[in-house]
Chain A
Amino acid sequence: MTSRQTAAEGSTQPPALTIDALGKKCPIPIIMLAEQINQVPRNGIVSVLADDPAAFTDIPAWCRLKSHHHVASHELPGGGWAIHVRRNY
């Protein structure tokens, strides 16, 4: 089950990389994430900034399918989210 709530767990670790996908429609934010996640070291955090509502569901779903870890999604003051993903492998 999912919800619009954000998880607090692990959110203290600063992101090693921020991907700005604001204004981009799905699946582009996910394509960008898949392309760039290997630029951070293992256990590093990638923060995807996205405002397509589909990204809010699809990035955690991508993490599940690709065995990476969705850490948390933080709402951005200007709309959209910073969606934090930990590289697992």
Chain B
Amino acid sequence: MAYFDAASTEPLHPQAREALIAALDVGWADPARLYGPARRARMLLEQARTEIAEALGARPDEVSFTASGTQAVHLGVLGTLHGRRRAGRRLVTSAVEHSSVLHAAGIHERDGGSVETIGVGRTGVVDLAAFGEAVLAGGTALACLQSANHEVGTVQPVAEAAALCAEAGVPLLVDAAQTAGRMPPPDGWSVLTASAHKWGGPAGVGVLVVRKGTRWRTPLPEDDRERRRVPGFENVPAIVAAAAALRAMAAESAQESARLSSLVDRIRREVPRLVPDVEVIGDPVARAPHIVTFSCLYVEGEALLTELDKAGFAISSGSSCTASTLRPSHVLEAMGVLTHGNVRVSLPQGASGTDVDRFLAVLPDMVRRIREDAGVRT
């Protein structure tokens, strides 16, 4: 099976697996207690915190571990809005953020806050002028922008957005789930979120980073853990493994990201040459190294993914029929591109050129057969 769904989850890095097994034996005790095993767990936890902070361009005391990337976003968005209630109740966000941002925004609206959603261009890049104007409006408590889009890979102009936010005195939350460990950490954020299983760590570890000086107040019942930011007992072994994965990934990524990026270039170039009526979407240059998305006219996305699965490819899609919702993908919709027949290829570390070649070899006939079955004359 060729696994091409790293944007959903990166397979556990071998060094993370090793660290996880070792930490299960020595890092199980409650890091909040005073006895020997507890001190050892605490030491492991704080060492992992220091390493992850460094990789993300943060200070250790700014980093809290959550139960997931989604929870990190929920707490980041709602906690900052709560902490800045006096500044106002406006939230500014791009139209292509991860659903965790949009759902947190939905709660904020239900609680009487307002949300301004900024549109994107055809490649998925946020309209920076409109974003800048929106954060300048009075009463803006928080702005959100992802580092790169999870469905199409397009990188957002985070540095420029951060400069506009700084000018307006508005904190910027950057959801870095798709780039942490793969690209240099973004700069200029006030709140940063990420997810360990996207960088080869285990599931169940998210990261919430709140810059010193950013107002933040928990939207949940108080708890002593994680600098009072996240409730519940930390999963120390998983956090240790997450740090090991990030360390390994960051060390490999300079070379590996370039290699994956050239495989993505090959797919971007070859798919429209081999398959008629295909639109490759997202920015061809300013993009995450491992993600490429294309849409095939007249093809039902689910049918294509099923055929790919039978041929030994694990691949996902933003198409409505496969995304467990009847709504088309809000990302593709906002970009104004085809929402059906959508295929997202996202390459994990070590993805082989041979598998990419095999993918390119089987795809044209698959698409042709599905179109034929649907009665499309080409």
Contact = CB atoms under 8 A, between A and B. Distances in A.
Q: Do A and B associate with each other?
A: yes
Interface of A: 1-3, 25-28, 30-31, 34-35, 53-54, 57-58, 60-62, 64-65
Interface in B274-306: 277, 279, 297-300
Interface of B: 119-122, 127, 277, 279, 297-300, 320-321, 326-328, 332-341, 374-377
Contacts of A27: 297-300, 340-341, 374
B298 A31 contact: yes
B340 A31 contact: no
Contact of A26 (B121, B320, B376): B320
Contacts of A35: 376-377
B210 to A, nearest CB: 32
9 contacts: A1-B120, A1-B127, A1-B334, A1-B336, A27-B297, A27-B374, A30-B340, A31-B374, A62-B297
Closest 3 CB pairs of A and B: A2-B336, A54-B328, A26-B340
Contacts of B336: 1-2, 57, 60-61, 64
B298 A1 contact: no
Nearest to B336: A2
B95 to A, nearest CB: 9
A58 B342 CA distance: 12
A55 to B, nearest CB: 9
Contact of B340 (A1, A58, A64): A58
Nearest to B118: A1
Contacts of A26: 320, 328, 339-340
Given A30-B340, A31-B376, A54-B340, A65 B297 contact: yes
B122 to A, nearest CB: 8
A34 B320 CA distance: 21
A27 B299 CA distance: 6
Given A1-B119, A54-B328, A34 B339 contact: no
Contacts of A62: 297, 338
